[in-house]
Amino acid sequence: MLLTIFGVVLGLYVLLSLIILPMQYRFLVNLKEMGAKNRVMGKTQGNMHDSMRAAELVLHENMQGNPIFFLANLLASGIYRIKH
């Protein structure tokens, strides 16, 4: 019984991660492009975060730091490294 519940929860987590994966990938691509633009302008990553609006900072923290998105972040990073 417990193993079945664990399997269902794990399956739902993987399904959620696959649904969120395209959004995480686009977020990662945009973040890398923004970082490249800021490097050209001579800004560091700290300066980039300082110049972000509050809503962007909250979005960034939620997309990168939320443990629910861990598998989606991991998969998006792997896909990004393979493609680029």
Domain parsing of the chain, residue ranges: 12-83
Indicate the pTM of the whole model.
Answer: 0.76
Q: Where are the alpha helices (DSSP H) in the chain?
A: 2-40, 45-51, 54-65, 70-83
* pLDDT for the residue numbered 5: 94
Give the distance between the most distant pair of CA atoms in the chain. 58
**Tell me: the pLDDT tens digits for 15-62?**
999 999 999 999 889 888 888 888 888 877 777 777 778 877 787 777
Q: Are 67 and 74 in contact (CB under 8 A)?
A: no
Binned at pLDDT 50, 70 and 90, residue 68 comes out as: confident
pLDDT at 65 over 80: no
* pLDDT for the residue numbered 36: 87
Phi, psi of 38 (to 5 degrees): -70, -35
Binned at pLDDT 50, 70 and 90, residue 76 comes out as: very high
| Other beta carbons less than 10 A from residue 43's beta carbon | 16
